[in-house]
Amino acid sequence: MKYCPKCGNRLDANAKYCDKCGTDVSNVNKKPNRPVPISQIKKPASVSVSNQLSAKRSRIRRNCLIVAACVVLLAAGGVVFFTLQSENASNSLPFVTHNKSEKMAEKIGYSPNKKMSSKNMAGFTIAYAHMHFQDDPDWDEVFDKAENGDLNIASYPEYTFGDYDVKAPAGGIVYVVSPDIGYVVSDVDHPNKAQVTFVNSQKGAEKPVYFHALAQKVASGAQKNDVQSYSKNVVVSDHDDSTKDSSTDTKQNSVDSKSLSWNDTKEEKLADFMDDFGNKMDQDYVEYTGDEPLKTIAGEKYPNIFDDEDFELIGNNKKINIGWDPELKKDYDYHVVSIFNSDGDGGEEHITYLFCIHDNQPIALVDQTTNGNAIKVKETANQDVRKGFAKIATSSDDD
């Protein structure tokens, strides 16, 4: 027996040709191993293991991709959910309130279903600020004024705090506690829907809080006993720049002048303060006494320059209505009650402080203009000057 070397067909030992493929097998004498078709050849075990590992890795990668895709989809869904929840929270979702806390808030003046006075809302807002801004020197000064009955808050549709322009939404009001700090009430007619956003000239806007939550927080805290006294003592003045005219200004100024005043005693205190401040800063300040114009090294003559040049606030480049008015009776937005100047050692450098009453609030403007078509002023960043003038301006005439 032999086999065809070509097709492996089994043949008779004496066969000369393969009866299947016709190959000459006459010279085939040995009995070779039967060839195995390629399709039946088994691959080495190592190759099989390698392929199995490769397949396993492919499955792992595929599963990882599936998991990653699911994570991405879930994350995207979470973002959408959060966004929708945030939008709903600010629009139509019902408020969840604690009945006991709400009743406590109502006992000290909170009215969820009817409009509250600006004084009552200010009482709650200031008390809340007292709880959350305890280490802020600007707010500390506000709290002292509120307790002493010296706090005056102005209200506007929009206001500029430092570099931040703040505009109230429709139905809302910007309340200016001082030139540096204030708050916005989004809906003054509906306290149960209103949000309160605290703003300041350094950081801009804080995260808003619903007024109903603010009121309940205050009612549950140590400041609840201060709300009614704050509401009683605070003075809230209404201003509307879009409709303001000279008659409105004159009326408002007469009201403001009853709250703050300037006199010789306060001028003497300020002169002493500026003398000490100048020594501390190694600067020599000259006071405008009302006799001769106070001239700066840059050529400005105070107070004449108020009539001769335009004054603009640095930051928004808006012209301001400013003038010399220590009696607080003229039609100005910024009533200048005192002026001090210190000239530099060279060039036209000078520091000129214009101590003003603006919206019944003390504000110290500084002029360091050396050239240009307008006098550029800004509120001084020096905390010593700001606090020193504020303390003197808000002190009693009898002090």
pLDDT, tens digit, for every residue of 141-189? 888 888 877 788 888 888 888 778 889 999 999 999 988 899 999 998 8
CATH of domain 99-243: 3.30.1460.60
pLDDT confidence bin for 80, thresholds 50/70/90: very low
Give the mean model confidence (pLDDT) for residues 326-336. Answer: 94
CA–CA dist 353, 244 (Å, integer): 28
Residue that wins the pLDDT comparison between 101 and 222: 222
**pLDDT at site 69:** 64
pLDDT per residue over 15-69, tens digit each? 777 777 777 777 776 544 444 444 444 444 444 445 555 655 666 666 666 666 6
Query: Are the C-beta atoms of 325 and 355 separated by less than 8 Å?
Result: no
* Contacts for 21 with CB less than 8 Å, ≥ 6 apart: 4, 6, 7, 9
**pLDDT over 90 for what percent of the chain?**
35
pLDDT over 50 at 96, yes or no: no
Tally of CB atoms within 10 A around 24: 12
Q: Which residue has the tokens 């010593």?
A: 384
pLDDT confidence bin for 247, thresholds 50/70/90: very low
pLDDT per residue over 24-36, tens digit each? 777 776 544 444 4
**pLDDT at site 103:** 77
CA–CA dist 395, 105 (Å, integer): 33
pLDDT over 70 at 379, yes or no: yes
pLDDT confidence bin for 113, thresholds 50/70/90: confident
59-73, 86-100, 104-118: least confidently modelled range: 86-100
Is 230 exposed, middle or buried, given 0-12, 13-18 or 19+ CB atoms closer than 10 A?
A: buried
pLDDT confidence bin for 140, thresholds 50/70/90: confident
Name the CA dihedral angle for 7, 12, 14, 18, rounded to a multiple of 10 degrees.
-30
pLDDT over 90 at 358, yes or no: yes
pLDDT per residue over 315-328, tens digit each? 777 899 999 999 99
**pLDDT at site 79:** 38
Domain with CATH 3.30.1460.60 in the chain: 99-243
**pLDDT at site 255:** 38
CA–CA dist 207, 200 (Å, integer): 12
Return the H-helix or E-strand segment holding 175. strand 173-176
Q: What is the mean pLDDT of the chain?
A: 78
Task: Give the global pTM.
Answer: 0.43
Residue that wins the pLDDT comparison between 319 and 73: 319
CA–CA dist 52, 63 (Å, integer): 16
